[in-house]
Chains A and B, each alone.
Chain A
């Protein structure tokens, strides 16, 4: 039975064919009709030709993740049909290019051998030919509605009717046709479609007009041809003040708001979108003042990005860089330098699946241990993780405050799942951000010692250019002025001074910033980062069956808030660790700090984000006492 208020729509096609802009138009149109949107993009490490797809879930209720079931798929190439037809549910719909039905599995060169082998086996088991028609037949037999449309014919008729022969060859508009056909079949009012195209192509007016013309025609064509799809979408009451946000915009807008003014970076997926966005908005409006700006510098490598970030921070400017695992590995040496020199910097780390290049465009949460232990030697740092895009805006402000107040490098953990999601969320409110520069000095009189041994371990901080504030930095151990010293007794004092800041941080960072409890019951999930969304949705599904599962989201991962987490978990009998890696890294931290590990693990390391459906199933297994200690999730192409 289809649920009218919870629909998942998939669009797929070769990379470079506009899958993403198609999905953005669809998402925006649905959001404009009042729906909550949660979309996620999957793509290969490739520029043109490999398969990419976008799943957009829309609902009248709050949603935080994708589900397994696809209600409607729009496919303008053969690979999308081969890869995703099986995910479309009974009574769901497949809109596909009818010119492709004879395409054979072997003719799709971008299908990899592993998938091809599974596909052929599957088609053989159902006695179907190895063609698009074969796979569609199976879908039809299990009750999926097929909506064949010749994309080329539509273009050509439209071109004739509009007396515009240019339209005929515009295969680049297949993406927009796919979206328009879908919304036509959904019976949705076309106005939001057209206004969304205006927004998405705001900088290309002529292209917007052409696409609107095509979309309008395609919409009417599909609505007239297939009026009977059971699942019609109607506008619903709109929540005011919602934003439609791309994943990387949360931290970028957070940086603008909280005063990050310098960001060197080196291009890497999926982190560079944030830096490019910052640069695209480099001039900033400032209340009652002249315009400000973010100086964004593309460096020659991540080592340079890190060195420059530190150099910028030494001048008193809030400075950050943004990277992913391979780049972070390169930054490790300089991270230690920032640690021993007590330099406040923020490293926004959009994790992807490693090791090495790993799955470079896929999701993973496998850098937790790497960040906690990054860099040789011992030095204090803070590792902080956001669970969703809305949080990431406010957390960015927190991370800069931690950096300034405790004078440590802060690693703000994000990931690919968050980076390539598109969601509706409440409008970001800058007034909820506080800016605390800690002991940064504006004026100095008398003798100054940058690393003065003070009781709370945090010495007043000068900045390059400040009169009477001259200091020295060195990666060597140093005295209070910052000059090299290898004295054994001073070494103890300086090491202890630096490490005392971590205790101080645990004492002074508000508990609700350290970890968030969504309720504690006998069965309690612990997790961190982007697993939050699917966990919340899975718990919600169970709640509808009157099953209560607790959830503790740990945000401060280093220093580990042992006492607080212990108190939160006091009444939990069974602890379930959910995270996107192979080894259960949060579980390891838990064992280290609480001397009690999780009872169960639900792990995913295919590079694809968890769906709430598969978490729901795994949690049910645990509740039914049928689960192995370690369940591994596999959903997603």
Chain B
């Protein structure tokens, strides 16, 4: 029997603020799971700490709400031990690009086959609105005592530089487009990063829903000009098609240039996609040929309570 969107919802009360962009992201994840018909027990949502950390409780698949900044470490551990699982990691911008930035970079280098979604709202919501790593220098969101003194991280650029092989951006209020991006990210063979612009209606009074939709940018004909546009509408080709340095460099460079666009033109869609770079799972298989069919979680380790691993050859080599 086909799984419906409702099958991926839990009955847990959702206590996000009214109008929060997070609702759109959770809906998009549920829609994506349903569209891909992933059996509930074959999927796991890992989440960090903060408003976005609660995501795993709202989705009716395995849900692991981890520690602040550490979501990728837990998620990668599970994926390595059971590569059959479809794993989506979710967390905030402070979580993933502040306290967790080291893990972000290291995960990129590994390129395991999982998806990481950052709920990017420029603030630390749950601790009452401090500046997050993506807030621009000099901006003063409403609960900051003074303007932000740090330069912002460029999440798309950092992901590309770190080795993520699928890098995309979505918008929390464009749920269908976001759903399509999540599906593309999950289906991508390798580590996918999704930067989701997610207005925080309570603490970020700069990058609001109205700001993204360009309410302040009305031309003489009273036409509103949304800041957000889709890369795919411009004929942009994010994919590295063949294994050559010029091709790779061209695709990396165009993605980096696109990642710098902000303010009046904010690209969404897929910036970069490269399935030529080997997945980490493949690199393990180079050393352990039967890793995928016999990963750690599947291995038989005992019979009748006794070990079945035979270490006698190793012991022989140590005998005197």
Which chain A residues have a beta carbon within 8 Å of chain B's beta carbons? 28, 31-32, 241-245, 249, 253, 256-259, 261-262, 264, 281-295, 297, 299-301, 303-319, 333-334, 337, 397, 424, 427-428, 430-431, 433-437, 463-476, 482-484
CB of B82 within 8 A of CB of A317, answer yes
A245-B318, A287-B309, A316-B82 known; 13 other A-B pairs, CB under 8 Å? Answer: A253-B314, A256-B314, A285-B310, A290-B290, A290-B294, A303-B70, A307-B70, A307-B77, A308-B76, A314-B64, A334-B70, A472-B57, A472-B62
8 A-B pairs, CB-CB below 8 angstroms?
Answer: A242-B320, A244-B320, A261-B296, A261-B299, A308-B77, A311-B78, A428-B311, A470-B63
* Contact status of A310 and B74, CB under 8 A, knowing A259-B299, A282-B288, A295-B295: yes
A241 to B312, CA, bound (A): 12
CB of B319 within 8 A of CB of A427, answer yes
* Contact status of A262 and B318, CB under 8 A, knowing A300-B102, A470-B61, A472-B56: no
Instruction: Determine if B1 is an interface residue (Cβ-Cβ < 8 Å).
Output: no
Instruction: Determine if B60 is an interface residue (Cβ-Cβ < 8 Å).
Output: yes
CB of B85 within 8 A of CB of A464, answer yes
Interface-facing stretch out of B16-24, B41-49, B185-193: B41-49
Measured CB to CB, the nearest residue on chain A to B15 is: A484
* Contact status of A470 and B315, CB under 8 A, knowing A28-B320, A334-B67: no
* Contact status of A470 and B60, CB under 8 A, knowing A295-B296, A304-B73: yes
Q: What 0/1 pattern do residues 274 to 295 of B give for CB contact below 8 A with A?
A: 0000000000100110110011
Q: In this complex, which of B56, B72, B102, B301 has the most chain A Cβ atoms within 10 angstroms of its Cβ? A: B301
Contact of A314 among B67, B78, B294 (CB under 8 A): B78
A284 to B290, CA, bound (A): 11
Contact of B65 among A249, A258, A297, A472 (CB under 8 A): A472
- Looking at the assembled complex, report how far the CB atom of B307 sits from the nearest CB atom of chain A, in whole angstroms: 5
* Contact status of A317 and B81, CB under 8 A, knowing A427-B319, A435-B306: yes
Which residues between 187 and 232 of chain B lie within 8 Å of chain A, taking CB atoms?
A: none
Instruction: Determine if B258 is an interface residue (Cβ-Cβ < 8 Å).
Output: no
Measured CB to CB, the nearest residue on chain B to A27 is: B320
A220 to B307, CA, bound (A): 48
- Looking at the assembled complex, report how far the CB atom of A307 sits from the nearest CB atom of chain B, in whole angstroms: 3
A262 to B41, CA, bound (A): 22
Contact of A315 among B66, B82, B287 (CB under 8 A): B82
Instruction: Determine if B260 is an interface residue (Cβ-Cβ < 8 Å).
Output: no
A306 to B72, CA, bound (A): 12
In the complex, which residues of chain A have a beta carbon less than 8 angstroms from the beta carbon of B299? 259, 261, 286, 292-293, 317
A428 to B310, CA, bound (A): 12
Q: In this complex, which of A262, A318, A337 has the most chain B Cβ atoms within 10 angstroms of its Cβ? A: A262
Instruction: Determine if B2 is an interface residue (Cβ-Cβ < 8 Å).
Output: no
In the complex, which residues of chain B have a beta carbon less than 8 angstroms from the beta carbon of A316? 82, 297
Q: What 0/1 pattern do residues 251 to 267 of B give for CB contact below 8 A with A?
A: 00000000000000000
In the complex, which residues of chain A have a beta carbon less than 8 angstroms from the beta carbon of B44? 464
For chain A, what secondary structure do more than half of its interface residues adopt (helix, strand, loop), or is it mixed? mixed
- Looking at the assembled complex, report how far the CB atom of B279 sits from the nearest CB atom of chain A, in whole angstroms: 14
Q: What 0/1 pattern do residues 71 to 94 of B give for CB contact below 8 A with A?
A: 011111111111011000000000
Q: What 0/1 pattern do residues 5 to 48 of B give for CB contact below 8 A with A?
A: 00000101000000000000000000000000001111010100
In the complex, which residues of chain B have a beta carbon less than 8 angstroms from the beta carbon of A241? 319
A134 to B41, CA, bound (A): 76
Contact of A312 among B81, B302, B318, B320 (CB under 8 A): B81
- Looking at the assembled complex, report how far the CB atom of A27 sits from the nearest CB atom of chain B, in whole angstroms: 9
In the complex, which residues of chain A have a beta carbon less than 8 angstroms from the beta carbon of B39? 467
* Contact status of A310 and B77, CB under 8 A, knowing A337-B67, A468-B41: yes
In the complex, which residues of chain A have a beta carbon less than 8 angstroms from the beta carbon of B320? 28, 31-32, 242-244, 424
* Contact status of A470 and B41, CB under 8 A, knowing A308-B74, A464-B85: yes
In the complex, which residues of chain A have a beta carbon less than 8 angstroms from the beta carbon of B73? 299, 303-308, 311
Rank and list the top 8 A-B pairs by shortest CB-CB distance, nearest first.
A311-B77, A307-B73, A259-B301, A308-B77, A300-B106, A317-B296, A261-B296, A312-B81
In the complex, which residues of chain B have a beta carbon less than 8 angstroms from the beta carbon of A310? 74, 77
Measured CB to CB, the nearest residue on chain B to A246 is: B318
Instruction: Determine if B246 is an interface residue (Cβ-Cβ < 8 Å).
Output: no
CB of B297 within 8 A of CB of A465, answer yes
A31 to B296, CA, bound (A): 37
Measured CB to CB, the nearest residue on chain B to A437 is: B302
In the complex, which residues of chain B have a beta carbon less than 8 angstroms from the beta carbon of A476? 65
- Looking at the assembled complex, report how far the CB atom of A413 sits from the nearest CB atom of chain B, in whole angstroms: 23
A31 to B301, CA, bound (A): 33
- Looking at the assembled complex, report how far the CB atom of A309 sits from the nearest CB atom of chain B, in whole angstroms: 6
Which chain B residues have a beta carbon within 8 Å of chain A's beta carbons? 10, 12, 39-42, 44, 46, 49, 54, 56-57, 60-67, 70, 72-82, 84-85, 102-103, 105-106, 284, 287-288, 290-291, 294-297, 299-303, 305-311, 313-315, 318-320
CB of B309 within 8 A of CB of A300, answer no
- Looking at the assembled complex, report how far the CB atom of A90 sits from the nearest CB atom of chain B, in whole angstroms: 31
In the complex, which residues of chain B have a beta carbon less than 8 angstroms from the beta carbon of A287? 303, 308-310
A68 to B210, CA, bound (A): 79
In the complex, which residues of chain B have a beta carbon less than 8 angstroms from the beta carbon of A304? 70, 72-73, 102-103, 106
In the complex, which residues of chain A have a beta carbon less than 8 angstroms from the beta carbon of B105? 300
CB of B307 within 8 A of CB of A435, answer yes
- Looking at the assembled complex, report how far the CB atom of A111 sits from the nearest CB atom of chain B, in whole angstroms: 36
- Looking at the assembled complex, report how far the CB atom of A202 sits from the nearest CB atom of chain B, in whole angstroms: 8
- Looking at the assembled complex, report how far the CB atom of B39 sits from the nearest CB atom of chain A, in whole angstroms: 8
A291 to B294, CA, bound (A): 9
In the complex, which residues of chain B have a beta carbon less than 8 angstroms from the beta carbon of A249? 318
A294 to B305, CA, bound (A): 20
A424 to B320, CA, bound (A): 8
CB of B302 within 8 A of CB of A262, answer no
CB of A484 within 8 A of CB of B54, answer yes
Contact of A435 among B79, B102, B301, B315 (CB under 8 A): B301
- Looking at the assembled complex, report how far the CB atom of B6 sits from the nearest CB atom of chain A, in whole angstroms: 15
CB of B318 within 8 A of CB of A258, answer no
A397 to B303, CA, bound (A): 15
Q: In this complex, which of B63, B77, B300, B306 has the most chain A Cβ atoms within 10 angstroms of its Cβ? A: B77
In the complex, which residues of chain B have a beta carbon less than 8 angstroms from the beta carbon of A313? 77, 81
* Contact status of A253 and B311, CB under 8 A, knowing A466-B41, A468-B41: yes
- Looking at the assembled complex, report how far the CB atom of A37 sits from the nearest CB atom of chain B, in whole angstroms: 8
- Looking at the assembled complex, report how far the CB atom of A472 sits from the nearest CB atom of chain B, in whole angstroms: 4
* Contact status of A483 and B85, CB under 8 A, knowing A242-B320, A427-B319: no
A284 to B80, CA, bound (A): 18
Contact of B309 among A256, A305, A436, A483 (CB under 8 A): A256
- Looking at the assembled complex, report how far the CB atom of A256 sits from the nearest CB atom of chain B, in whole angstroms: 5
In the complex, which residues of chain A have a beta carbon less than 8 angstroms from the beta carbon of B309? 256-259, 284-287, 292, 430
A311 to B67, CA, bound (A): 12
A31 to B297, CA, bound (A): 40
CB of A295 within 8 A of CB of B65, answer no
In the complex, which residues of chain B have a beta carbon less than 8 angstroms from the beta carbon of A289? 300, 308
In the complex, which residues of chain B have a beta carbon less than 8 angstroms from the beta carbon of A306? 73
* Contact status of A257 and B307, CB under 8 A, knowing A293-B290, A311-B74, A470-B40: yes
CB of B301 within 8 A of CB of A292, answer yes
- Looking at the assembled complex, report how far the CB atom of A152 sits from the nearest CB atom of chain B, in whole angstroms: 33
- Looking at the assembled complex, report how far the CB atom of A405 sits from the nearest CB atom of chain B, in whole angstroms: 12
Contact of A292 among B75, B106, B294, B306 (CB under 8 A): B294
CB of A295 within 8 A of CB of B74, answer no
- Looking at the assembled complex, report how far the CB atom of A103 sits from the nearest CB atom of chain B, in whole angstroms: 37
Contact of A482 among B63, B287, B294 (CB under 8 A): B63
